[in-house]
Amino acid sequence: MLSKKDWKNQWRLFSDYCKMGETKTVVCMALTCTLEAVRPYVTLVLMGYLLDLVYAGTDYRTMLKYAGIAFFYTFASSCIESFCHKRYNRKLEYMFEQQSYLMNQKCLSMDYEYLEDKKVHDKIFQIAQSYGGRFGLMGDMLSEWEYLLRSGISMVAAVVIVFPLFTEVTSIRDGIVTSWLASLLLCALVALATFYNYHFDVKIGAVVRGCQEEKARHSNGLGYYMNILASYDKQKDLRIYHQEQMVSERTDAAMDALDAWTNKEARSRMKSAFVKQTVSAASGLAVYLFAGIRAFLGFISVGSVVTYAASIIRMTTSMATLMQHLAHLKTLNPYIRDYVEFMDLGGRKYEGTIPVEKRKDDRFTIEFSHVSFRYPGAERDVIHDLNLNFTIGNKVAIVGKNGSGKTTFIKLLCRLYDVTKGCIKVNGIDIRKYNYREYCDLFSVVFQDFQMFAFPLGENIAACSEVDKDQALSALGRAGLTQRMLELPDGLDTCVGKEFDERGVTFSGGEKQKMAIARAIYKDAPFVIMDEPTAALDPVSECEVFAGFDKMVGNKTAVYISHRLASCRFCEDILVFDKGTVVQRGSHDDLLAQGGLYRKLWDAQAKYYA
């Protein structure tokens, strides 16, 4: 059965749904379940009662009166049920989106390091695959509770109706024997059948979940391969390197595997359905025999046989349904546990409260004091015992081999991660003590994997819906996009891409990179950090960016990361990273004179310069 922790996790998911303003939807579901569960018993009771009235010779007016009452109840309850069910089903259609919204909000608020944690990604993937339902984890759970509530109410109604059947005293020739023995035997048989169905459902549910996890894995692979075949931009490599056969073979293999696991799941479900139908039929036969014998001995009326037998059948069916969906919930619980664990991921970073000093001259000093950093789960430090400092107004270049710690250095400076050892100080204060949002306002960053969104150009540059047009145009001009702006059909209102607007423009990678630079300029923060900001630019555009770099950043501190050492010559201060620490520092001419790693990297690249 379900553990206390399982119930608690389900209550958490249920509470999260209600907090989205959906309490009325849950009330509608509960009302619908109550009406659906009770309505059949009104008909059964009426049917048995009318049969008894017919045998007793009651006049038709009395029978019509009772039939009218039953009809009115059935009609009224059906109308209310239809209204509530319509609302509930309408909400059910986008519960997956509501669940995704909650999880996306969590992603926006959680520490950045979780977003690069494979375990967190696996957990999100498992939640998305929850039980294979199209309504998402939240919709699946509410659907299961709909069945549980309806079945539970149906069982209670059936017990109330058939209770007299088990409390009569039965006389036989040799003495008086209470019906309790027969009743207990019947109840034991029904309970045994029900619990057998439950444990069988749990067993089949585990098999089905395993099938669905394998299907999800192969489905992801199939989607990837199909995307390769359908994407025109990938066709060049496929044709030049004759990879069509390899991709087609992997696509076929993924389809075959997906088909095999689908068939296994279908066989398991068919087996489950056959066993449950057989057990249910045997239980029903026992119930009818019991009621029939009671009627034959004259202890209940003919009409009561119909009412009692049909009610017990409905009760056993409801009990079987209850146990079946308890088993489904048990199968669903690992996904719910993953959801709760994901939503409960706490902050690892210290939440500072000190406001960042507001300086008119934007003079800030940065100090790395014995800083070491190791990614969670990693075996070695990426940054090791790093000591350095620099002041606002300097132009600093960071160079080094791949994996030397350059990008990690930027992540630590922007406090996307907190240091493992040591500390980073701004104006002598540990950055962990500053208000995090205010601290982030110190930086304008052009990441290597920057993102532009399918929003109007002005909103992309301003990073919000309120755009200072003069400031945005100035930033675009300083980034080298003045001429391109003149060609746009709607100026700053031109949508980036055509996803949501036919008049949108598909920009090149180099143009988007200039937009990212313009966004950094627009923010007007004291620090401007550029991680390979010219990687997608042609040589002419790259030269324009370098020539106008002073104009772009003004008197701000500019931290510039690049693999191309020739593009770093304009910087006053060059940091050479190797194995997570700074091994050289100085101007370009000074570093060449020193020799060492910088000279080695420069000589390796210089032979390719014209």
pLDDT digits (tens, 9 = 90+) for 553-562: 777 788 888 8
pLDDT (0 to 100) of residue 361: 61
- The answer, yes or no, to whether residue 92 has pLDDT greater than 80, is no
284 pLDDT tier (thresholds 50, 70, 90): low
- The answer, yes or no, to whether residue 588 has pLDDT greater than 70, is yes
Dist CA 472 CA 469 (whole Å) = 5
Strands 175-178 and 169-172, sheet pairing: antiparallel
Spatial contact of 378 and 553, defined as CB atoms under 8 Å apart: no
Please report, rounded to a whole number, the percentage of residues in the chain having pLDDT higher than 70. Answer: 82
pLDDT (0 to 100) of residue 406: 87
- The answer, yes or no, to whether residue 227 has pLDDT greater than 60, is yes
pLDDT (0 to 100) of residue 372: 94
The mean pLDDT value of the chain amounts to 79
CB atoms within 10 A of CB 474: 15
In this structure, which topology does domain 4-343 adopt according to CATH? ABC transporter transmembrane region fold (1.20.1560)
Dist CA 113 CA 373 (whole Å) = 13
- The answer, yes or no, to whether residue 422 has pLDDT greater than 90, is yes
pLDDT (0 to 100) of residue 171: 46
Spatial contact of 37 and 311, defined as CB atoms under 8 Å apart: no
Q: Which helix (H) or strand (E) holds 423?
A: strand 421-426
H runs (alpha helix) in 231-362: 232-240, 244-296, 302-343
pLDDT-wise least confident of 71-80, 190-199, 522-531, 559-568: 190-199
Maximum mean pLDDT: which of 22-36, 181-195, 464-478: 464-478
Residue type, 423: C
Tokens of 419: 């240091």
333, 414, 566 from 445: Cα distances, Å? 42, 9, 22
Which distant-in-sequence residues (6+ apart) come within 8 Å of 430 by Cβ?
Answer: 423, 424
Spatial contact of 381 and 580, defined as CB atoms under 8 Å apart: yes
**Average pLDDT value for residue range 584-590:** 88
138 burial level (CB within 10 Å; 0-12, 13-18, 19+): buried
Say which DSSP state 18 is in: I
- The answer, yes or no, to whether residue 329 has pLDDT greater than 70, is yes
- The answer, yes or no, to whether residue 316 has pLDDT greater than 80, is no
**CA neighbor of 272 nearest in space, from 207, 337, 214, 352:** 207
Helix axis angle, 23-56 relative to 60-92, nearest 10°? 160
202, 458, 540, 541 from 480: Cα distances, Å? 64, 15, 11, 8
Strands 365-373 and 383-391, sheet pairing: antiparallel
pLDDT (0 to 100) of residue 461: 92
- The answer, yes or no, to whether residue 486 has pLDDT greater than 70, is yes
CB atoms within 10 A of CB 147: 18
pLDDT in tens, 138-183: 888 888 888 888 888 888 887 787 776 655 544 444 334 445 566 5
pLDDT-wise least confident of 259-273, 345-359, 403-417: 345-359
Q: Which residue has the higher pLDDT, 40 or 519?
A: 519
Dist CA 38 CA 34 (whole Å) = 6
535 pLDDT tier (thresholds 50, 70, 90): low
Which distant-in-sequence residues (6+ apart) come within 8 Å of 89 by Cβ?
Answer: none
pLDDT (0 to 100) of residue 295: 65
pLDDT (0 to 100) of residue 176: 40
Q: Which residue has the higher pLDDT, 316 or 252?
A: 252
Tokens of 351: 């939440």
Tokens of 270: 């068919």
- The answer, yes or no, to whether residue 598 has pLDDT greater than 70, is yes
- The answer, yes or no, to whether residue 213 has pLDDT greater than 60, is yes
CB atoms within 10 A of CB 506: 9
Dist CA 584 CA 174 (whole Å) = 109
pLDDT in tens, 60-87: 677 777 778 777 777 787 788 777 777 7
Tokens of 207: 């098999």
Listed by start position, the domains of the chain span: 4-343, 365-452+507-606, 453-506
pLDDT (0 to 100) of residue 178: 46
Dist CA 484 CA 468 (whole Å) = 19
Q: Which residue has the higher pLDDT, 594 or 133?
A: 594
Spatial contact of 452 and 514, defined as CB atoms under 8 Å apart: no
**Average pLDDT value for residue range 416-443:** 90
Count CA atoms within 13 Å of residue 256 on its CB side.
Answer: 6
Spatial contact of 176 and 297, defined as CB atoms under 8 Å apart: no
- SS3 call for 385: strand
300 pLDDT tier (thresholds 50, 70, 90): low
**Average pLDDT value for residue range 214-229:** 78
pLDDT (0 to 100) of residue 297: 66
Spatial contact of 127 and 106, defined as CB atoms under 8 Å apart: no
Residue type, 215: K
pLDDT (0 to 100) of residue 85: 74
pLDDT (0 to 100) of residue 539: 60
Number of H helices, E strands in the chain: 21, 12
Sheet with 421-426: list strands edge to edge: 383-391, 365-373, 421-426, 429-430
Maximum mean pLDDT: which of 81-90, 206-215, 415-424: 415-424
pLDDT (0 to 100) of residue 609: 56
- SS3 call for 533: coil
pLDDT in tens, 236-248: 677 777 777 888 8
**Average pLDDT value for residue range 438-442:** 88
Q: Which residue has the higher pLDDT, 287 or 24?
A: 24
Taking phi first (over 0 means left), then psi (-120 to 50 degrees means alpha), and beta for anything else, what does residue 377 get? left
Tokens of 447: 């990441």
Dist CA 466 CA 469 (whole Å) = 9
382 burial level (CB within 10 Å; 0-12, 13-18, 19+): buried
- The answer, yes or no, to whether residue 524 has pLDDT greater than 80, is yes
368 pLDDT tier (thresholds 50, 70, 90): very high
Q: Which residue has the higher pLDDT, 315 or 177?
A: 315
- SS3 call for 157: helix
Q: Quick one: CATH architecture of 365-452+507-606?
A: 3-Layer(aba) Sandwich (3.40)
Which distant-in-sequence residues (6+ apart) come within 8 Å of 152 by Cβ?
Answer: 37, 318, 322
Dist CA 182 CA 189 (whole Å) = 11
Strands 557-561 and 175-178, sheet pairing: unpaired
Spatial contact of 283 and 193, defined as CB atoms under 8 Å apart: yes
Say which DSSP state 576 is in: E
**Average pLDDT value for residue range 173-198:** 61
Dist CA 371 CA 115 (whole Å) = 23
CB atoms within 10 A of CB 391: 13
